[in-house]
Amino acid sequence: MISTAIDGETVSVRLNEVEAYGGRDDPASHAFRSRTQRNRPMFGPPGMLYVYRSYGIHWCMNFVTGAEGEPQAVLLRGGEVVAGVGTAVQRRGRPDHLADGPGRLAQALGVTGAASGSMLGEGLVRIERLAASVPTHEVTPRIGISAAADRPWRFVLRNG
DNA sequence: CACAAGATTGACT
DNA sequence: GTCAATCTTGTGT
């Protein structure tokens, strides 16, 4: 589960869909070619946030998982808002599809490029694991990319 | 300096 | 189902 406390409002989302992205060996990754100003956080230490603008309109958020200098990150593709629903609805401008998609998820949480490069737990964003159950997940190919789309690096929670 | 493409979404036919 | 919106990066003139 991920929670954000931004603009005085707290929103929590239970993640149920994520995708992994690598670095030099992953043609679909932003860090495949080189280190740029935008993807600099991907090369940072684990737990760093990497937020990028998609199609000039949407924000998509990642968590860095690899060691410093090793660009590896997990893209948050979807989830369910479990707290702060009113705030999420206000940010989304709609009562449904609050976090069903990478751009929607980031918008519901109030995450923008301003949060890129910040560390988990050191400020606005923190992540928690539900100790009660070990989630079972399905592994499927990644979605919405044209390069290396066959790599089974997408993880979807089964049941809940 | 001028393009084209992309880890997307929302509106319209 | 189709298409536009709009920013960052990479590539070519």
**Which nucleotide minimizes the distance between its C1' and the CA of A113?**
C7
What is the pTM assigned to this prediction? 0.93
Which H, E and C letters describe A127-149, residue by residue? ECCCCCCCCCEEEECCCCCCCCC
Separation of CA A46 and C1' B5 in angstroms? 29
Place of tokens 């109030």: A110
Residue A159 has pLDDT above 70, yes or no: no
pLDDT for the residue A132: 54
Residue A88 has pLDDT above 70, yes or no: yes
Tokens standing for A143?
């979605």
Separation of CA A53 and C1' C6 in angstroms? 10
Q: How do residues A14-67 score in pLDDT, each as one tens digit?
A: 999 999 999 999 999 999 998 999 999 999 999 999 999 999 999 999 999 999
Q: Contact, A23 vs A42, CB < 8 A?
A: yes
Domains of chain A: 2-157 (3.10.300.10)
pLDDT for the residue A154: 93
